Structures are given as C-alpha cells and as structure tokens.
Amino acid sequence: MGKLPYDIAHLLGGAMLLLSFVLLYQRRVQAVINAFAVQGGVLALAAAWQANMQGVPELYLTALIAFVAKAVLIPLALRAMLRRLDLHRAVETALGIGTSMMAGVAVVALAILVVLPITAGARAIAREDLALALSVVLLGMLMMITRRNAISQVVGLMSLENGLVLAAVGAAGMPLVVELSTAALVLVVFVVAGFFVFQIRERFDSVDTAALESHRGEGAGDGWRGEGAGDGWRGDAGQDGQRGGAGQA
C-alpha cells in the first residue's frame, strides 16, 4: 500500500488536534460550539477514511453517526439552548490565551513522550494515531479543568469523547467499534440532555459552575433539605449571575 493513505489519516488526526487547540482558547461560547461542530465533522471524515483504508464497511456507519450527531444535531441543540438562555453572546474568562496554549503544548508533549517510547514495537501508523488520539483526550480534559462555564465543560467532555472514537477507529480490527462508539455517544447525549433539564428547571440561576461549589451539604443549614442551605445557594448564584453580567458588559 502506498504512503498516501497513512498521510491522509495523519492529516485528519492532526486536524482534530488543531481543533482541540481552537476549543482550548476560544472565549465566546458560540465559537466554542462552532469549533466543536467542525471537529465532529473531521472525526466523521477520519472514521470514513479508516473504513476505506481498512476495508471495514461498518466504520462508515460510525462515520455517519458521528457526522449526524456531532457535526449537526448536538451543535444545533446547544445553539438553540444558548439562544433560549440568552447566553449566545456570553464571554467567559478562560485562562489567558498564552497560558492555555502553553498548557496545551505541554499536554501534547506529554502524550507523545508517553506513547512513542512504549509503542516502539507497534506499527508506525498505530502509534502515531494513538499519540494524536491521546493528545485530543488530554486536551479535552484540560478544557474541562480550565473552563468554569458548565456548557464549555460539556463541550470539553464531548471533545474528549471525539478523541476516544478517533483511537477506536484507528485500532485496526477492533471488535464492537460501532457499538462502543454509539454507546459513548449515548453518554454524551445524556450529558447534554441532563444539562438541558437543569436549565429548563431553572435550578441554576447561572450556568457558572462556581455557583455549585457554595453548596456542599455540610454548611450551616439545619434541615437536610434545609431552607437555610437552599437560600445560601440561591444567593450565591445570584451574585455569580451579576458577575457574569459585568463580564459581558
């Protein structure tokens, strides 16, 4: 087999990694969702390319599912949610661009340093794919750690999951790939739905997860579903809402 198929697989994996970096530094929530949609599309292409290269038609199904769910439906749902919550122009203060990038580069270097030496025996394509996938996974985790906005954390988890699917489709001959990637997608959809339910029920006055920290169940409140604790929680959330407002202004 020629070298070109491998190069294309690498190109697609590299594009996903690049988009993970875009996700890491974007400040506008809307832009984060756009970048995620593009990453989902690239993942679908990567899966389709692997299907072609390995001659496994089932992977086309994975590609189709990834495209429909991650490039189209989930971004649309998230965008509708943002409009409904009037957050579509929200700006959040992630780490500074420089710091995020440096942390991201460090994480990728770590992934490469971990993967390349221990897979010296494996085929080149497998080890480089694995290094790319591990980088996408770790960058997704980094995004979840550095972001405080709940919706960005959800996107971080989904981007992490993109890395998983990339690894799974790259592992030639992996059984149950379609089943496992679909099951992982179900998890993601459940997270998005859970987030949606929280918002609809207006349990959170702000989507800032900092508001969650104030209620640890061991505060001064007496009742176990205590009024005191509940009030404190709402009060804090209100303040956070104001802070968020100030950030937008």
Per CB under 8 A, does 210 bind another protein?
no
Alpha-carbon gap, residue 126 to 171, rounded angstroms: 7
Per CB under 8 A, does 130 bind another protein?
yes
26 Cβ contact partners less than 8 Å away, ≥ 6 residues apart: 32, 35, 94
Per CB under 8 A, does 109 bind another protein?
no
Q: Which of 8, 114, 125, 210 touches another protein (CB under 8 A)?
A: 114
Could you tell me which stretch among 27-35, 87-95, 100-108, 113-121 binds another protein (CB under 8 A)? 113-121
When the beta carbons of 88 and 215 are compared against another protein, the nearer one is 215
When the beta carbons of 103 and 144 are compared against another protein, the nearer one is 144
Contact status, residue 46 vs residue 13, Cβ threshold 8 Å: yes
Which value, to the nearest 10 degrees, does the dihedral of the CA atoms of residues 109, 102, 43, 86 take?
Answer: 160
Contact status, residue 188 vs residue 74, Cβ threshold 8 Å: yes
Q: Which of 122, 124, 227, 247 touches another protein (CB under 8 A)?
A: 122
Q: What are the two backbone dihedrals, phi and then psi, of residue 208, each rounded to the nearest 5 degrees?
A: -75, 120
When the beta carbons of 97 and 227 are compared against another protein, the nearer one is 227
Per CB under 8 A, does 225 bind another protein?
yes
CA atoms within 13 A on the CB side of 29: 25
Per CB under 8 A, does 203 bind another protein?
yes
User: What are the structure tokens assigned to 154, written together?
Assistant: 């959800």
Per CB under 8 A, does 161 bind another protein?
yes
Could you tell me which stretch among 5-13, 27-35, 82-90, 158-166 binds another protein (CB under 8 A)? 158-166
229-242 per-residue burial string, b: 16 or more CB within 10 A, e: under 16: beebbeebbeebbe
Per CB under 8 A, does 175 bind another protein?
yes
When the beta carbons of 2 and 217 are compared against another protein, the nearer one is 217
Q: Which of 7, 99, 194, 228 touches another protein (CB under 8 A)?
A: 194
Per CB under 8 A, does 108 bind another protein?
no
Q: How many residues in the chain?
A: 249
Opening angle at CA 242, ends 206 and 152, nearest 5: 40
Alpha-carbon gap, residue 37 to 82, rounded angstroms: 15
Q: Which of 26, 149, 153, 206 touches another protein (CB under 8 A)?
A: 153
Residue 21 amino acid letter? F
Please report, as ranges, the residues that interact with another protein according to CB under 8 A.
114-115, 117-122, 126, 130, 133-134, 137, 141, 144, 150, 153, 157, 160-161, 163-164, 167-168, 171-176, 179-180, 183-184, 186-187, 190-191, 194, 198, 201, 203, 212, 215-218, 222-226, 229-230, 233-234
